[in-house]
Amino acid sequence: MKTAVAITGIGLISPLGNQVEAVFSRLMAGESGIRLLDAEVTGCKPAVVGAAEFDPAPWFTRLQLSGVDRVSQMAVAAATLALEDAALTLPAEREQVGVYVGCAMGGSSALDKGFHNFYAEKSRVSPLSVIASMANAPAGHISMRFGITGPSVNYSVACASSAIALGEAMRAIRHGEITHAIAGGAEAMLLPGIINAWQSMQVLASTAGEHPEQACRPYDKERSGLVLAEGAAFLILEGLDAALARGARIYATLDGYACRSDATHITKPDVGGQVRTMRAALADAGLSAGQIGYCNSHGTATQVGDVVECQALQSIWGEDTPGLQVSATKSMHGHLLGATGGLETAITALVLYHQQVPPTANCRQLDENCRVQHVLGKGVAAPDLQAAISNSFAFGGSNASLVLQRHQA
């Protein structure tokens, strides 16, 4: 018999703040954490980004910080907050605990500084650049911080990274390999070189004139592209029975997961691949499409991606099906690349816990090719909501979907 898996803790370092309930309140109000970086910061054209307000001082000593990139700093902070939120004392046998992290870019700041020292200043590159920039550094630092000797793994699968990390952590608990997991993702890549590379792809949102906070407009007819963001989001996963036994608050249960490949194009999404992924996740959860009442969509605000995802949703749920409410919260927090799945799964768990659905912000004129039941403007109550799905679709054609259910206390 498979072990049911509960989400009992959430920790966030995000463009919308670091306190879970305050972040959810801002989302429900349709508030944005996106702001403008001028040309002096980007080194090229101005750009809108979702930057996290984060001070590492409470989490690391000055000596420790010398070899810890921003991405690992935020990961440790968010993981610690998640454990505190879960009111969880880790088991004495730490081999029964796993750390599952999604991080696509790794320690970008350390790598950027190393290149600058070598090419621009012709100076010595710090040997700490290697360990600070490796993609699995956040997982290693979390494991060391809490003495965790179970699995410590990183998934680098572009925008699906932390959704896959959560799914694999769920599987490990479900099949008895571990009893607890700290799972999620982190990303910190708001640097001139990276921003300029994305600008060159012509997929970033315009600066939106006097209202940069409105730049990300998923499903809007006039949408101009995605908004890069940074942050970390971690969830505490544990067996449902064990969580109930210790009287834990249960945000939701994580019941379904699937990862499938488009195998068609390195950047262009595919309807068939997304449909296969969602159907497989539903089957893993043992639920039908009609039982899902909310979708936290991938919804990046690109011209092609938004249409493809809506077509995939229509293929499963049918166009204008009233039973499925859809929103793209990236409109307010931006796209955290490898950390996005973690943040959006946390949001989906909060949606089920509060039975309230946040909106897609900034969508003023819905694209006629994106006809599903969007929640626009402000959030809405959803008193009958019992199950939800969160989608993460990545460059490379890797897709991941997670299915969550409301816990009936």
Residues acting as catalytic residues: 159, 298, 335
Query: What does 72-111 look like in DSSP terms, one character per residue?
Result: HHHHHHHHHHHHHHHT-PPPS-GGGEEEEEE-SS--HHHH
The token pair that represents 90 in the structure block? 């880790």
The token pair that represents 118 in the structure block? 């070598």
Left, alpha or beta for 258 (phi > 0: left; psi -120 to 50: alpha)? beta
242 burial level (CB within 10 Å; 0-12, 13-18, 19+): middle
For residue 393, the one-letter residue type is F
What whole-number distance in Å separates Cα of residue 87 and Cα of residue 93?
18
For the chain, what's the residue count?
A: 409
The token pair that represents 319 in the structure block? 């166009």
256-277 CB burial, b ≥16 within 10 A, e <16: bbbbbebeeeeeebbbebbbbb
The token pair that represents 14 in the structure block? 């995000």
Residue 340, helix vs strand vs coil: helix
Residue 333, helix vs strand vs coil: helix
The token pair that represents 288 in the structure block? 């039908």
Give residue for tokens 């809490």.
146
What whole-number distance in Å separates Cα of residue 230 and Cα of residue 214?
18
Closest among 159, 139, 178 to 401, alpha carbons compared: 159
Residue 244, helix vs strand vs coil: helix
Closest among 152, 70, 316 to 297, alpha carbons compared: 316
What whole-number distance in Å separates Cα of residue 74 and Cα of residue 185?
10
Give CA 219 to chain center in angstroms.
Answer: 19
